[in-house]
Structure 1
Amino acid sequence: MPWRVAVVLPAREGFSHGAVGAIGLQVATLAGTQDVIVGPPLAGPALLPGHEYHAIQPGLWPPGSRSVRYAAACLRAVAHIAPAVVEVHNRPDTARYIARHRPGQRVLLVLHNDPRGMRGADTPALRRDLLGIMDVACVSGWLRARFLEGLPAACGERVGVSPNGVVLPEHVVPMAQRDPCVLFAGRVVADKGADLFVAACAQLAPVHPGWRFCMIGADRFRSDAPPTPFVTGLLPHARAAGVDMAGYRPHADVLAAMGRAAIVVVPSRWPEPFGMTALEAMAAGAALVASPHGGLPEVVGEGGLLCPPDPASGLARVVGRLMADPDARGSLAARGRGQAARFSVAHARACRSALRAACLHRAPG
């Protein structure tokens, strides 16, 4: 692709080691040489050393909220870069601001979360208005359906699916050699079912004394994430259940832990828009148990066991059966690797490239 793309991060999305979330990691994974990253000032060494990065510092103009001033600063960066396409991640209001103030600019809005809870896209009328000035890419079919809910069928022509991608390790630790460990990795919040994981472990630990239970994560994706009331309240329950709460760890450490653990659990209460943790666990060769909510069934397919996480007793039964059956764990892990291969980085890049090209060449309106 010979033309440049300005990739605009959300105002609070990190893009440095030790301070990066799921969106930043995917932008780094899929970035091509033609991509220019636009985002907030870096908190440390950039994820892509040597790659062009425009740090945005909102000024005092225009008057209004910080989000408006951030969008205006992004617009100034876009004018300097002069890209063929502006790819705005997860911020409909920023995408609308750029499209409105730069007539003729091709804009692709990439959604990683449910737009019905986003400023500037929370009603069918607002979402239809967006499609008059930009194209939209959603990371899952479930998310695409959420965007199109309440809109005419013809609107679907400008809304595509651009899945996340995962690096598939060439070799993984065989199940027979894996640590007898049940792992939770992700934000330690109620939406992610962190408390349900602890409650399930409390039931499993007495009957599986040779197993360990571990949680990696904090409230935020950064090493200096402060303890929240939820995390503080969960700590004594985790200690009583024998769950090791390791706190935030860099992404590479999380992947390494998945590569050693026998079982990974993704017990989300909320409808996951995609389910990157589940995909990474399958790619790493772990046996996966995941919630059936949101985009998770689409990502997991036959590569994991889908189980409602609430009540925790049901989650404990499903995980416990896997703990007791090494052959079932091995078979499930093999299916998971096959499922993860469908979400390769090459495939994800091809999908994103096709939607960028469609955005560039499509007639406005």
Structure 2
Amino acid sequence: MKVMTILPRREGYAPDRAGAIALLVSRLAEPEDIVLGTQIEGNPLPGGRFVAVSEPGGLHRWRREGTRYRIACQREIRRHRPDLIEVHNRPALAKALARCGVPVHLILHNDPQDMYGARRPRQRLALMQHLKVFTVSFWLRRRFLEDLDDGPVTVMPNCLDLSSLPPRPGEKAKLVLFAGRMVADKGADAFVRAWAAVSQKAPGWHAAMIGADRFRFDSPRTTFLDRVETAANAAGITLCGYQMHEQVLEAMARASIVVVPSRWPEPFGLTALEAMASGAAVIASPRGGLPEVVGEAALLALPDAPGALEKALLSLIEDAALRAECVERGFRQARKFELGQAKAALRMAREKSAKTGNIRR
């Protein structure tokens, strides 16, 4: 089966700028899959065969970016003639491409009610009538079906290749780690505040932060980032800046505790899954899809509830038995998201769509 996967226009399919969508596509792609995206520098991620689309010039240059990208994708569809198209995170693009006469999967990684082409219930209903919809968490499925009757929306969670993770050291460092975009939605400032409050009660422990405003080395400076870094330096936190995904996983393998203090309702929470699989005890926000990812394995704490993050941090720092219990539960929870199971589910969904063809419009 010839499958064409279409990335969001701004999603980099390269090791030095890969976000969660690109990493998932790379893990799941079969060798013969075609992955469409915008031009990158250097080598692409290993999954599938990457094809950089060329957006039209001429009169088309005055059109919206999304329209030019759609036209470029349609050109590649006519050129490669796939049996199935998978569109990640772009409802309007997926609906437009469903007119090409090829079955289309829309795979949602973020809240559809914040997306062009899916904000209104009638738009989401129309999507289900034109194509097959998948979400990476049950929380996202509920958001898609809000104000609608139950519909054929399939949950297909993110996954990890547990065998490819960096080896864990024999003894974990007394390290508390934040890894994520340095933005308010991710709670970077809440992490700094909590560590500043407890660091004097945690002798021998230290904290570090990995991340920038974007998933790339040339990420822009922001006033928020300046404020957070000033406070982090005052609290003695090591600032590592943006790191490639492999380096983040290596840091998680060393860390005893990983904190995911998101204010934004995480649609899934890949960082928490990676931390559990890497053998870290996890503190996570109880928002969005994070609770279903961590299950009973993590301590839950709202980032802005007075003393909540601080209490959770001290509980894990002071109680080695509790840390060990969270680590063991985390291993068991992470195995539910193993790559092999996800690949099998994806193959089954693809084969079913290839047999049934387009949904009647």
Counterpart residue number, 1:364: 359
* 3-state SS of 2:107 partner: strand
Range that drifts further, 271-280 or 126-135: 126-135
Distance in 2, matches of 1:19 and 1:244, equals: 22
Partner SS, residue 152 of structure 1: coil
Secondary structure at 1:105 match in 2? coil
Deviations, residues 248-283 of structure 1 (Å, cap 9, x unaligned)? 000000000000000000000011000000000000
CA distance 1:233–1:122, shift in 2 (3 Å)? same
| Residue in structure 2 matching 1:182, options 176, 190, 213 | 176
Q: 1:338 matched to which residue of 2? A: 332
- On the 8 A contact 1:11/1:39 being kept in 2, the answer is yes
1:160 is aligned to 154
> Among 281, 293, 299, which residue is 1:299 paired with?
293
1:173 — aligned with what?
Answer: 168
- Aligned partner of 1:277 in structure 2 is 271
Amino acid at match of 2:70: A
Task: Report if the CA contact (8 A) 1:172-1:285 is conserved.
Answer: no
Structure 2 residue ranges without an equivalent (≥5): none
Counterpart CA distance in 2 for 1:66 and 1:114 is 21
Query: Per-residue displacement from partner, 1:197-247 (whole Å, max 9, x unpaired)?
Result: 000000111111211111000111011112111101111111111111211
Task: State whether residues 219 and 231 of structure 1, in contact with CA within 8 Å, keep that contact through their aligned partners in structure 2.
Answer: yes
**Cα separation, partners in 2 of 1:70 and 1:337, compared to 1, 3 Å:** same
SS at match of 2:133: strand
- Shift in Å, 1:84: 0.8
Is residue 31–residue 49 contact of structure 2 (8 Å, CA) maintained in 1? no
CA contact (8 A) 1:19 1:43 kept: no
The answer as to whether partners of 1:9 and 1:39 remain within 8 angstroms in 2 is: yes
Question: Contact 2:87 / 2:94 at 8 angstroms: preserved in 1?
Answer: yes
Q: Which residue matches 1:17? A: 15
**Cα distance in structure 1, aligned partners of 2:314 and 2:81:** 56
In structure 1, what residue type is equivalent to 2:201?
V
* Comparing 248-257 and 90-99, the one that deviates more: 90-99
- Match of residue 33 from structure 1: 31
Instruction: Tell me the distance in 1 between the aligned counterparts of 2:147 and 2:80.
Output: 36
Q: Please, which of 47, 55, 61 is the counterpart of residue 52 of structure 2? A: 55
SS of 1:88's equivalent? strand
Which residue in 2 is equivalent to 1:353? 347
Alpha-carbon distance in structure 2 between the residues aligned to 1:348 and 1:188 = 30
Question: Match of 2:229, as an amino acid?
Answer: L
Q: Are the structure 2 counterparts of residues 171 and 36 from structure 1 closer, same or farther at C-alpha, using a change threshold of 3 Å? A: closer
Q: What is the aligned partner in structure 1 of residue 247 from structure 2? A: 253
Deviates more, 1:250-259 or 1:308-317: 308-317
Q: 3-state SS of the aligned residue for 1:87?
A: strand
| 1:195 correspondence with 2:192 | no
| 1:318 has 2:322 as partner | no
Match of 2:64 in 1: 65
1:4 is the counterpart of 2:2:
yes
Q: Does 1:75 align with 2:70?
A: no
TM-score normalized by the length of structure 2: 0.95
Whether the 8 Å CA contact 1:162–1:348 is kept in 2: the answer is yes
Identity, in percent, stands at: 45
Contact kept in structure 2, 1:274 and 1:295, CA below 8 Å: yes
Q: Map Cα deviations across residues 9-35 of structure 1 (whole Å, 9 max, x no partner).
A: 011100112111111011001111231
Are 1:132 and 2:126 matched, yes or no?
no
Amino acid of the structure 1 residue aligned with 2:143? R
Distance 1:351 1:114 in 2: 22
Residue 88 of structure 2 is matched in structure 1 by 89
Counterpart amino acid of 2:13? F
Change (3 A) 1:336 1:52: same
CA RMSD of aligned residues (A): 1.6
Q: Aligned partner of 1:33: which letter?
A: P
2:130 is paired with a residue of what secondary structure? coil
- Give the CA deviation at 1:312: 5.4
Unaligned runs of 5+ in 1: none
In structure 2, relative to structure 1, the CA distance for the partners of 1:171 and 1:74 (3 Å cut) is closer
1: distance between equivalents of 2:103 and 2:346? 15
Moved over 6 A (4+): none
**Secondary structure, aligned partner of 1:227:** coil
